[in-house]
Amino acid sequence: MRCLGDFFSSSIGRKISVAAAGLLLCCFLITHLAGNLLLLAGEGTFNHYAEVLEANPLLPAAEIGLALIFLLHIMVSLKLKYENRRARPVPYVVQKGKGGRSWGSRAMLVSGLLLLAFLVIHVKTFRFTEHRESLYRHVFDAFQNKVYTLFYVAAMIGLGLHLSHGFQSALRTFGVGHSRAMSAIKRTGLILSAAIAAGFALLPLWFGFMAGGAR
């Protein structure tokens, strides 16, 4: 146990824990998106999905586990960022590196903080707010607020940027990103992050602007 504790208190151990948590969260996002897209199938289909999910006795344990993974990813990422800043208080005048830094890598801290703010608001809106009508109607009504809808879309752009760098960074941490595979991993990360972000952004845009008159 002490060896394990020493490993995860080391820099490489923390990087591995951030990478593992990030990949688990990516898997969650894919399954969550698949469920959310059932909104496009209509009220009955989505409400049935929500009822089955709510009736699952493992849901509370899954939510607690997911919250712990989120906290681990956020707290350890911030600690690593702080340690990197402390180790190099003065940034390089010229940033070097093969291919340069991507928008995703430059925006990791900002996009992460944006997603944290979004997560708090999103959970409050859809998990801890009572709704008398069906969950489908609750989602529909929430997206009639154009400010919330635009914030949701902005957060999904942040999510796309975050994933575009985070996916390949996590695989590099596990030693997957060697020369030949790196270009394929980058392409996969870009396609995956764009698909997830676009899928989530589609829903508020559809209900907020395109289906606004359908009740």
Query: Mean pLDDT, 10 residues at a time, over the chain (215 residues)?
Result: 65 88 95 96 94 93 94 90 72 49 83 94 86 85 94 96 91 75 84 96 91 53
Extract the tokens encoding 23: 């990949």
pLDDT at position 21 is: 93
Instruction: Give the chain's domains with CATH numbers.
Output: 11-86+103-210 (1.20.1300.10)
pLDDT at position 12 is: 85
Indicate the pTM of the whole model.
0.84
Distance CA 147, CA 129 (A): 18
Residue (of 56, 111, 105) closest to 84 by Cα position: 105
Residue (of 145, 101, 103, 137) closest to 121 by Cα position: 145
